[in-house]
Structure 1
């Protein structure tokens, strides 16, 4: 089992989940070392041929936060910051071209981390522009900052097994403790999915 969160619908969205506790005082970066970043890239079929450096870790963290801001802007139907659009274009500049190898037509490994980031950026552009397979949504659990691709139009949580169960348990406990304990309008999801910022 992978130590990294996945299941958000695209690797670039799984990248956003590598910063745990995004809206809390204490955060944990699950790709904060060169070894962790290489492991995450390997888990997402993006392991580069070149070594992963400390500078790569810093660039990926910067790219992750840029992509998160762009996704939030898309969800909230706001104009993205010009600096984020410029950084997204710089990420796309790192594209070394996609080639396939062997009879199974697997994409070749990225040359370096910038090449891997360019592939993630390319995925992001498709989803951010509304041309992807689903709709970007924020997890309905108040304690989660994940953003996922909803291909059904009914999905409420990034993962039903953790966030969905947590939200249902909280809603059940509020119902069981009576109306005095239930906040007005509370139904186990946040009133504004990104209000935690």
Structure 2
């Protein structure tokens, strides 16, 4: 079971924390942190994407339908990697593959189709995904809405990529000079590597 600590949430936005659920000491995304659907449920709870009751209900539903949970996890992985590739292309000002862009668009469109506009928009999100209606796809739908909110906010210009790993984060500083997702991890590793070279 994965433990979700503050070090798991360095992105500054839930959509970025979502794409950062794959780790690795380099740009290669080699360490999968959502190995089981229950890991995704627990991450979503830690990220405030699910509340306590929703977490327990989703866990029970996944336990009753393991094959459906496996399919939902695979879909979540594909969604995450498409969003990461799309955001990274924007940050690095490189061409984005049409299939990647189409997947991000399809995820957002599906989420809006399933969403209800809330009249409590002053105290909660304007677009609400009902877990009873969305079932095990509640995570993909809510995270797609979160991604859409980031892409339509002013914060999109603050997205940056770590100089050592693949993690994305918001850099709201005026100079946009933040280099690492975390000085304690990637920053120190880069320092150690420079020291070894010397």
TM-score (norm 2): 0.71
Q: How does 1:83-162 map to 2 (within 5 A)?
A: 83-92=99-108, 93-95=110-112, 96-97=115-116, 99=118, 105-107=123-125, 110-111=130-131, 112=134, 113-128=136-151, 131-132=154-155, 134-141=157-164, 144-152=165-173, 153-162=176-185
Please say if 1:27 is aligned against 2:45: no
**Superposition deviation, residue 106 in structure 1:** 4.4
- Contact between 1:17 and 1:146, CA under 8 Å: does it hold in 2? yes
Residue 69 (structure 1) aligns with: 85
**Superposition deviation, residue 126 in structure 1:** 4.6
**Superposition deviation, residue 82 in structure 1:** 2.0
Q: How far does the alpha carbon of each residue in 1:9-28 deviate from its partner, in whole angstroms, 9 at most, with x for none?
A: 2111112221223754x823
- Contact between 2:129 and 2:138, CA under 8 Å: does it hold in 1? no
Q: Which runs of 5+ in 2 are unaligned?
A: 63-68
Greater relative contact order (Cα 8 A, min sep 6): structure 1 or 2? Answer: 2
How far apart, CA to CA, are the structure 1 residues paired with 2:35 and 2:130? 20
Change (3 A) 1:100 1:166: farther
- Contact between 2:15 and 2:150, CA under 8 Å: does it hold in 1? no
How far apart, CA to CA, are the structure 1 residues paired with 2:155 and 2:130? 23
Change (3 A) 1:116 1:168: same
How far apart, CA to CA, are the structure 2 residues paired with 1:23 and 1:167? 13
Higher alpha-carbon deviation: 35-44 or 8-17:
8-17
RMSD: 2.9
- Contact between 2:116 and 2:129, CA under 8 Å: does it hold in 1? no
How far apart, CA to CA, are the structure 2 residues paired with 1:124 and 1:82? 18
**Superposition deviation, residue 73 in structure 1:** 1.1
Secondary structure of 1:79's aligned partner: coil
Residue 39 (structure 1) aligns with: 42
How far apart, CA to CA, are the structure 2 residues paired with 1:138 and 1:147? 4
Change (3 A) 1:36 1:81: same
Aligned length: 170
